[in-house]
């Protein structure tokens, strides 16, 4: 039995572990993949929008070559925090269920079942891509994740989306020799695209280096072409690969199975008390981007790292209250 199990070994889960260790709370972090699994699966050349100091946790300095660090620097930073602080982090152990019986949680993985008085879910949202829901989406040529531009050199590539991930992929793959077409559901490139990148892609579109279809959607993906619905009508394009970078969503089924209430509107916000981060299930907390539901742009490392302190302060308050109650009895 531990005081706390933290589900998710990303930056916020690590921050929770550091805070638990400082406060003398027994804990265990369970991560389904490697350390900071989501960051590991980012594109190899990815550069953060935030500066390195805004990605710091627990006041530990993050030194990067540029003001805005890259993926490999972030992996090194968070890995060093885990190893130098000897955090109790168990890797490649995916949590499949959380069940509360009385005042104790049973947290189950394929390897074991653990008992804890409190649980923090800090799993982010990167696991479940938003589907296109079109014929051919299951073809091997289609991916919802982008890793390395070299793979697409010399290929006819369609990139679906207008966010940072889609724009970065389009530019990088074009620079490596891909013939890139952007398919954008809205009227323009997203306004949240990194300010130093947005002008770049707009210029490439204007000069014709990257072809773009706005107010358009993919209707069908075929082995050697894609079918677009555009303002000018149906367009068929020769195609080798499709990167459907249309965003991701939290695992709502996992949350509801644990008993957490989810709002019924399109935002699907999980219920929690912002003063404590505790959900409607006593002892079960949320931390990080998962708090935003479908509003995945609401929470980032820099504005959710404080969740660790809020949650652990509340857990310590409960521990002190229970200790005082036992002494009274």
Which residues of the chain form beta strands (DSSP E)?
A: 2-7, 27-30, 89-90, 97-101, 104-108, 113-121, 128-129, 142-143, 156-160, 179-183, 211-213, 217-221, 225-230, 233-238, 241-244, 248-249, 284-286
C-alpha 94: how far from chain center: 16
Bridge partner residues of 235 (DSSP)? 228
- Residue 233 burial by Cβ neighbours in a 10 Å radius (0-12, 13-18, 19+): exposed
Q: Residue 116: what pLDDT? A: 96
Assigned token pair, 77: 């930073």
Q: Is 317 helix (H, G, I), strand (E, B) or coil?
A: helix
Residue 179: half-sphere exposure toward Cβ, Cα within 13 Å: 7
- Domains defined along the chain, listed by start: 2-128+248-328 (3.50.50.60), 131-244 (3.50.50.60)
CA distance 1 to 35: 24
- 270-323 tens-digit pLDDT: 999 999 999 999 999 999 999 998 887 788 888 899 999 999 999 998 877 776
User: 229-250: per-residue pLDDT in tens?
Assistant: 999 999 999 999 999 999 888 8
Q: What is the pLDDT of residue 329?
A: 47
Q: Distance between CA atoms of 119 and 29, rounded to whole angstroms?
A: 10
- Which residues does the chain have with pLDDT short of 50? 329
Cβ burial, residue 282 (10 Å; 0-12/13-18/19+): exposed
């Amino acid at each position: 039995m531990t005081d706390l199990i933290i589900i998710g070994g990303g930056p916020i889960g690590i921050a929770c572990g550091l805070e638990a260790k400082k406060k003398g709370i027994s804990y265990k972090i369970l991560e389904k993949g490697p350390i900071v699994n989501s960051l590991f699966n980012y594109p190899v050349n990815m550069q953060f929008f935030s500066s390195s100091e805004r990605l710091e946790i627990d006041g530990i300095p993050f030194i990067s070559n540029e003001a805005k660090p890259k993926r490999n620097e972030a992996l090194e930073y968070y890995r060093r925090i885990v190893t130098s602080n000897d955090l109790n982090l168990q890797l490649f152990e995916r949590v499949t269920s959380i069940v509360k019986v009385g005042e104790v949680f049973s947290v189950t993985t394929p390897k074991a079942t653990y008992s804890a008085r409190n649980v923090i879910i800090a799993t982010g949202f990167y696991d479940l891509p938003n589907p296109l829901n079109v014929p051919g989406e299951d073809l091997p040529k289609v991916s919802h994740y982008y890793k390395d531009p070299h793979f697409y050199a010399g290929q006819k590539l369609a990139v679906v989306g207008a966010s940072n991930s889609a724009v970065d992929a389009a530019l990088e793959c074009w620079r490596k020799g891909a013939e890139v077409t952007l398919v954008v559901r809205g009227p323009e490139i997203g306004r949240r695209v990194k300010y130093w990148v947005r002008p770049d892609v707009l210029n490439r579109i204007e000069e014709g280096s990257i072809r773009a279809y706005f107010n358009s959607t993919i209707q069908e993906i075929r082995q050697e072409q894609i079918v677009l619905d555009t303002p000018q009508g149906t367009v068929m394009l020769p195609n080798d690969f499709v990167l459907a970078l249309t965003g991701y969503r939290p695992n709502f089924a996992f949350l509801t199975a644990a008993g957490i209430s989810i709002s019924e509107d399109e935002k699907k916000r999980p219920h929690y008390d912002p003063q404590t981060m505790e959900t409607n299930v006593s002892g079960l907390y949320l931390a990080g981007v998962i708090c935003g539901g479908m509003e995945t742009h609401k929470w980032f490392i820099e504005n959710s790292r404080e969740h660790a302190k809020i949650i652990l302060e509340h857990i310590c308050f409960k521990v002190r209250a229970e200790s005082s109650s036992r002494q009274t009895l």
